[in-house]
Amino acid sequence: MKRLFVYLAVVMSAFLGITASASAKCGDVTMAEMNWASAELMANIDKIILEKGYGCNVELVAGATMPSFTSMNEKGQPDVAAELWINAVRNPLEKAMAEGRLHSVVDGPITELGEGWWIPPHTQKKHPELKTVLDVLKRPDLFPHPEDKSKGAFVGCPAGWGCQLANNNLFRAFEMEKKGWVLVDPGSAAGLDGSMSKAVERGQNWFGYYWSPTAMIGKYQMVPLPFGVPFGGKENWDGCIVKPEQECANPKVSAWTKSEVHTIVTDSFKKSGGDAVTYLSKRVIPGPVMNGMLVFMADEQAGGADAAIEFLKKHEAVWSKWVSSSAAAKIKKSL
């Protein structure tokens, strides 16, 4: 009997040791570090939390939407894309997910994100009646074009950007020219940012396209406008709004299509990632927090690694909800 107890104790100890070791050993993880600020920050936050909190060995791999998706889909690497904007890869991604090669662990890793039309907060404060795009379109006089004060200026996307086509076609769909508006091509990203910052810092009105999360939206606390009309349908958007004008003869009015962003992982990582996958499934950054961090990155010229440390120091109340108490203690101690 004594030998049996000893034997069971040895077996149980070995089992518990193996279980604890398997739980503790996260192993190697490859993560795409996308080539825009919010995704760079998120990848570096993930790296610190997984390494310091869960003992992973994380390698960040330079990435972008299409190359990272293609590599994950075809080669199973990298393991994780933290911030994948799926509109550009929707069809092949849905196929990969249906066939079990890729999985979404978070739908919306950042809240309040998306594209659309915006005005400054001082404009809405002074003119509270401007609640929607339809309201603004009635008041071109409040947004005078610099070269023709009798016209309203709507600032669209620079030529060559994908969003230029959508803005051009929505401009036509809402018959903005008839309503006294001129569509302004800002010429470049710097031109778009400059037109917004110049107007806001001078207390002037501004109406145009932008997206969030970005430093500009965070810095100037820009107000996104509901369009005042529903989304006009996939056929109208995909078959007309995003097409060149010659392929979109009759655009219908529409709200901007919903921007979908997911954290995507490979099938092998989903099966073997354990605590790392659980963490990623809980990791959601509030939009205002992300915009604030992007302002920090722009003002301080901070890269993703430095910004991630700043985030972890400043926003413990946010990230501590994503991890276990023991992992939180390890992460906090490492900072």
The strand pairing partners of 59, in sequence order, are 30
Instruction: Report the distance separating Cα 167 and Cα 211, nearest Å.
Output: 13
Name the amino acid, one letter, at 269.
F
Of all residues in the chain, what percent are helix, strand and coil, respectively (each to 5)? 50, 20, 30
Is residue 132 pLDDT above 80, yes or no? yes
* pTM beyond cutoff 0.85: no
Residue 214 C-beta-side C-alpha neighbours within 13 Å: 18
The predicted pLDDT at position 2 comes to 43
Q: What is the mean pLDDT of residues 148-171?
A: 94
Is residue 6 pLDDT above 60, yes or no? no
Per DSSP, helices labelled H in the chain are 2-24, 37-48, 54, 65-75, 90-98, 121-126, 133-137, 162-173, 189-201, 215-220, 234-236, 267-272, 275-282, 287-300, 304-314, 316-319, 325-334
Q: What is the 3-state secondary structure (H, E, C) of 267-313?
A: HHHHHHCCHHHHHHHHCCECHHHHHHHHHHHHHHCCCHHHHHHHHHH
The predicted pLDDT at position 40 comes to 96
Residue pLDDT, tens place only, 21-64: 334 478 999 999 998 999 999 999 999 999 999 999 999 999 99
Q: Is the distance from CB of 250 to CB of 279 less than 8 angstroms?
A: no
Tokens 């009105």 locate to: 205
What percent of the chain shows pLDDT beyond 70? 93
The predicted pLDDT at position 160 comes to 85
Q: What is the mean pLDDT of residues 72-91?
A: 93
- Which pLDDT band, with edges at 50, 70 and 90, does 10 fall under? very low
Say which range, 15-24, 60-69, 105-114, 166-175, has the weakest mean pLDDT: 15-24
Q: What rounded mean pLDDT belongs to the chain?
A: 92
The predicted pLDDT at position 22 comes to 39
The predicted pLDDT at position 74 comes to 97
The predicted pLDDT at position 9 comes to 45
- Map out the domains of the chain with their CATH numbers: 24-112+260-334 (3.40.190.10), 114-247 (3.40.190.100)
Instruction: Report the distance separating Cα 179 and Cα 172, nearest Å.
Output: 11
Is residue 7 pLDDT above 80, yes or no? no
Instruction: For the beta carbon of residue 122, count every other beta carbon within 10 angstroms.
Output: 16
